[in-house]
Structure 1
Amino acid sequence: MTPDNKKLFNIIILGCAFMFMFTAFQTCGNVAQTVIANLNNTDFHGSGYTSMAVIYGVLSASNLVAPSVVALIGPQFAMFISGLFYSAYIATFIQPFTWSFYTASVFVGVAAAVLWTAQGNCLTINSDENTIGRNSGIFWALLQFSLLFGNLFIYFAWKGKSHISDADRRTVFIALTVISLVGTVLFFLIRKPDSPSLLEEDANVNGSLDAEINVPLENKMSKALDALKKSLQLCITKQMLLLSVSIAYTGFELTFFSGVYGTCIGSMNKFGAEAKSLIGLSGIFIGIGEILGGSLFGLLSKKKQCNRNLVVLLGIVIHTLAFYLIFLNIPADAPISSSTGTDNKAYMNPSVTLALFCSFLLGFGDSCFNTQLLSILGVLYSEDSAPAFAVAKFVQSISAAVAFFYSNYLLLQWQLLILVIFGFFGTISFFNVQWKAVALSSQQTAYSPRL
C-alpha cells in the first residue's frame, strides 16, 4: 500500500469508527429528553437538556488540557479510551438513576474533549494541503451516516407508539451501547502514516502505539506541557478569535438540530401517534443533508473547485431559510412541552413534510460550516493541529452548553433569533479569516524561489 493510500485508509477507518460511535451517541442525544419524559421511574429527576449542558460545559473546561493528554498517550489510544466513556454514558439509559446519569455526563464531557482533539490531530497528520479538503469531506460524510442508521432504528422501533415503555427503552439502548463499542474497537485499525517527516517524530504525533512505548516519559511530559502552552497562546490570537465566532455558531446550531428540533417534533400532538417515531425520521433527514454536503464538498475540494467562502455563504442562506420555515411550522412552546406535548399551532397548519424538509436543510447547512472549518483549521494550523482543534472544540462546546441550558426555558422563536444573529456574524468572521489566508498564501507563492 502506498503512503497516500495508507493515509486515505486511515481517514476512512477514522470516519467509520466515528460513524459507529455517533450512531449511538447522536441517537441517544436526539431522543434523551423524550425518553426521560416517558420514564415510569418517579425517583429519576434528570433532564436530557441539562445532561447535554453538563457534557458540553465539562467538555469546554477540558479542551485546553486535552492536547496534553493526546500528547501523553497518543491520539489512537486517546480515542479508544474516550470511546469507552461514550459507551458507558449510553449504557446509563438502560437502567437510569439520577446520580449515574449526571456522573456519566461529566465523564463523557472530559472524554469528548480528548476524542475530538485526537480526531483533529489524526485527520491533520494523514492529510496535506492538497488533501485536507477531500479528507475533511470524507470524514464528515462517514460521520454523518450515524444520523441515518440510529434514527432509522428509532423510527421503526417506536413507530405508532405514543408512549415509550421501559422494555422499548432497554432494547434501544442495549443495541446502541453495543454499536458504540464496535466503533471504539475500530480505532485500533488505524496505521502509522509513512510520511518521512512523520516517521522522524515520536508516536505522540503520529499515533503509533508500538513506537510510543519506547518514548521516554520526560519527552512525553515536555510535549504535554508544550501542547498546553500552545493552546493558551492560540486562544488570544486575532485569527482564532475571529474563527471562534463561526465555531460558536456551530455549537448553537448543533444543540438545536441534535437535541431541540427532534424534541419539538416529538411534542407535536397534531402529528398524532406518529410524533415519537418522527423524531427518528427527522434525524434521518438531517443525516441525509449532512452526508450529501460532506460528499459534495469533499469532491469539489479534490478538484480544487471549492471556495470556502461560497460554501459557508451557502450554509447560512440554507440555515436562515430553515429557521424561517420552522418558525412558521412549529409552535413556540414545543421545545419545553416534551412531557405532555403541545396542541398549539404556529402560523400555519403543521406539516410533517415541511418539518422533515427543514431537518434536511439543517443537516446540509451544518455540513457547509463544519467541513470548511475542519479544512481551514487543518491548513492554518498544520504544525499545531492538536492545540488548534482543542481550542475550536473549547469554543464550540461552551456555546453548545449555553444553548442546552437555555433550551430548558426559552420559547422557540427566541432560540431561532439567537441562531440567526450568531450565524450572520459567524459568516462574516469566517470570510475575514479566509480572505487573509488566501492573501498570505498568494504572498508566499509570489516570493517562493522557483525550482
Structure 2
Amino acid sequence: MADRRTYNVVVLGVGFLLIFTAFTTCGNVEQTVVKSLTNSTFSGRGYHLGIIYGVFSFSNLLAPTVVSVIGAKPTMFLSGLLYGYVAVFITPATWSFYLTSVLIGAGAALWTAQGLFLVENSEASTINRNTGMFWALLQCMLFGNLYIYLDWNGQTEISTSRRKIFLFLLVASVLGTLSFLVLRKSHHEEEMLSEEEGQSLLSTRSTILQLLRTKTIVLLSPCMAYSLELSFYSGVYGTCIGATTHFGKAAKGLIGISGIVVGIGEIVGGLFGLLCKNSRFRRTSVVFLGMVVHFIASYLIFLNIPDDAPVVFESTTQKNPYLTPVSIALLCSFLLGLGDSCFNTQLYSILGHVYAEQSVAAFAIFKFIQSVSAAVAFFYSGYLLLMWQLLLLVILGFTGTLCFFIVEKMQDLPADLLED
C-alpha cells in the first residue's frame, strides 16, 4: 500500500509537471508574444491572465462539490483537458483568447482535487515528504523554457516560430492530462470517498463557511494571498527581462533561461519539504527562508530592472537600471522560485496536517484566496511601476510569514484553545 501511494504521488507530480510546463511557459512568454502580434485579428493583452485567475477564484467555490460527486481522479482529468488553452496561440484571435481564458479558469477543480488526492495518499508521518516530492516533480518544468531560449536567443522580434512552440506545449499538456488515467485507487481513498458520498452542495458550502471562520484559516489568509508573487514571477518578471534594452539581443532568449532558473529554485525549495520531518528544521524555518530570499530578490530586481519595464507597450524600455549584469537577473529568478516553493510546500503541508478530514474544503479555500490575489495582481501589473509592485510583495510577504508563525505556534496549544 505504501508503494502504491508513492507511485500515485510520483505520477501526480509528473502529470502536473507536463500540464504546467505548457501553462507556465505560456504565461512566461505570453505578453512578449502578444506584443509581437501586429495583425488585425488580435488585440488582446497578455496580462489578461488576470481573467483566468478571476474566473478560477469563483470556480473554486464549486470545486469541492464537483470533486465530491465524481472523485479526485476524474476531476483532474476533465480539468486537465481545459489546459489545452495554449493552443489559442497557434493561430491567435482575440475572441478565442478571451473565451479560453474563461474556460481554463473553470478548471479550478484541478487543484482542489490534487490537494485531496495528495492527502488521500499520505499519512501524518508522510505528508511533508509527499508534498515536497510532488512540488519538486511539478517544478521540473525546465524543457519548455529551454525550448524558448534555444528558439528565441538572438531575436529581437518574435516571428511565426511561435506556432511550433505552442504545438510543442500543447502536446505536453495533453500527455500530462492522460497520465491521470493511470493513477491507482488506494484503500484509504475508497474509505474517504464512501464517507463523502452523497455530500450535497449545501453541506459543502457549509463546511467552507465553517472553515472560513476558524482562526487557522483567517491567520493563514495573508500567506495564501501572498500569491501576488506567483503573478510576478510567472507573468511579469519574464516580460520585464525581455523588455530591458541593456540586455541586448539576448533579452528575448533570457526569458526562457529565467524560467529555467526559476524552475531550479522551485525544485530546491521542494526538497526542503523532505527535511521538515526533522524537528530541528520545521515548517517555520522553511517559510522564513522563503521570506528572506524573496526580500533579497525584490531589492536586487529594483536595482537591476528599469522601473517602467512592466508597463511599456513597445517592445523595450529605454531606461537604464542601477545595476546591469545579466547574472543578477538570473540570480533573482532562482530566488523567486526558491521562495515561492518554500511558501507553497509548507502551506500544503500545514493544511494537510490540520484539515486532513476536511481537505477538499480547506484546499478550495486556499486556491480561492490564492487565485483572487493572483487575478488582482495580473490586472494591475500592466499599469503599476515595478517599484510599487515590489513594495506590495515585501509588505504582504512579511505579514504572511508572521501569520504563518502564529499558526504553527497554535499547533502546540491544547485543542480547545485552537478554534472558537
- TM-score, length-scaled by structure 2: 0.96
1:173 maps onto 2:169 in alignment: no
Residue 293 of structure 1, CA deviation: 1.2
Aligned match for 1:72, one of 48, 56, 69: 69
What residue number does 2:134 align with?
139
Question: CA contact under 8 A between 1:20 and 1:179: conserved in structure 2?
Answer: yes
Question: CA contact under 8 A between 2:68 and 2:193: conserved in structure 1?
Answer: no
Gaps of 5+ in 1: 206-218, 445-451
Residue 336 of structure 1, CA deviation: 1.4
SS at structure 2 position matched to 1:357: helix
Output the CA distance in 1 between the equivalents of 2:195 and 2:72.
7
What residue number does 1:417 align with?
391
What residue number does 2:157 align with?
163
Residue 351 of structure 1, CA deviation: 1.4
**Structure 1 residues 203 and 336: CA distance shift in structure 2, 3 A:** farther
Residue 304 of structure 1, CA deviation: 4.8
Question: CA contact under 8 A between 1:74 and 1:204: conserved in structure 2?
Answer: no
Residue 237 of structure 1, CA deviation: 2.1
Residue 199 of structure 1, CA deviation: 3.5
Aligned match for 2:316, one of 341, 353, 372: 341
Which has the higher mean CA deviation after the structures are superposed, 311-320 or 431-440?
431-440
SS at structure 1 position matched to 2:413: helix
What residue number does 1:322 align with?
297
**Structure 1 residues 388 and 257: CA distance shift in structure 2, 3 A:** same
Aligned match for 1:276, one of 252, 255, 262: 252
Matches for 1:287-366 after TM superposition, within 5 Å = 287-295=263-271, 297-337=272-312, 339-348=314-323, 350-366=324-340
Question: CA contact under 8 A between 2:273 and 2:346: conserved in structure 1?
Answer: no
Output the CA distance in 2 between the equivalents of 1:309 and 1:322.
20
Output the CA distance in 2 between the equivalents of 1:342 and 1:69.
46
Output the CA distance in 1 between the equivalents of 2:321 and 2:289.
27
Output the CA distance in 1 between the equivalents of 2:381 and 2:120.
37
Which has the higher mean CA deviation after the structures are superposed, 300-309 or 89-98?
300-309
The code of the aligned residue for 2:30 comes to A
What residue number does 2:214 align with?
237
Residue 110 of structure 1, CA deviation: 1.1
Render the CA deviation track for 1:206-262: whole Å, top value 9, x for unaligned: xxxxxxxxxxxxx53x3444222211222232210110100001x100000000000
Output the CA distance in 2 between the equivalents of 1:22 and 1:420.
26
Output the CA distance in 2 between the equivalents of 1:156 and 1:139.
28
Question: CA contact under 8 A between 1:245 and 1:422: conserved in structure 2?
Answer: yes
What residue number does 2:88 align with?
92
The code of the aligned residue for 1:428 comes to L
Question: CA contact under 8 A between 2:149 and 2:257: conserved in structure 1?
Answer: yes
Output the CA distance in 2 between the equivalents of 1:245 and 1:314.
17
Aligned length: 418
The code of the aligned residue for 1:139 comes to F
What residue number does 1:118 align with?
113
Output the CA distance in 1 between the equivalents of 2:10 and 2:148.
26
Question: CA contact under 8 A between 1:34 and 1:339: conserved in structure 2?
Answer: no
Question: CA contact under 8 A between 1:266 and 1:338: conserved in structure 2?
Answer: no
**Structure 1 residues 107 and 412: CA distance shift in structure 2, 3 A:** same
1:202 maps onto 2:176 in alignment: no
Gaps of 5+ in 2: none
Output the CA distance in 2 between the equivalents of 1:183 and 1:289.
22
What residue number does 2:238 align with?
262
- TM-score, length-scaled by structure 1: 0.90
The code of the aligned residue for 2:111 comes to W
The code of the aligned residue for 1:176 comes to L
Identical residues among aligned pairs (%)? 54
The code of the aligned residue for 1:131 comes to T
- Give the CA RMSD over aligned residues: 1.7
Output the CA distance in 1 between the equivalents of 2:147 and 2:231.
22
SS at structure 2 position matched to 1:140: helix
**Structure 1 residues 76 and 347: CA distance shift in structure 2, 3 A:** same
The code of the aligned residue for 1:79 comes to M
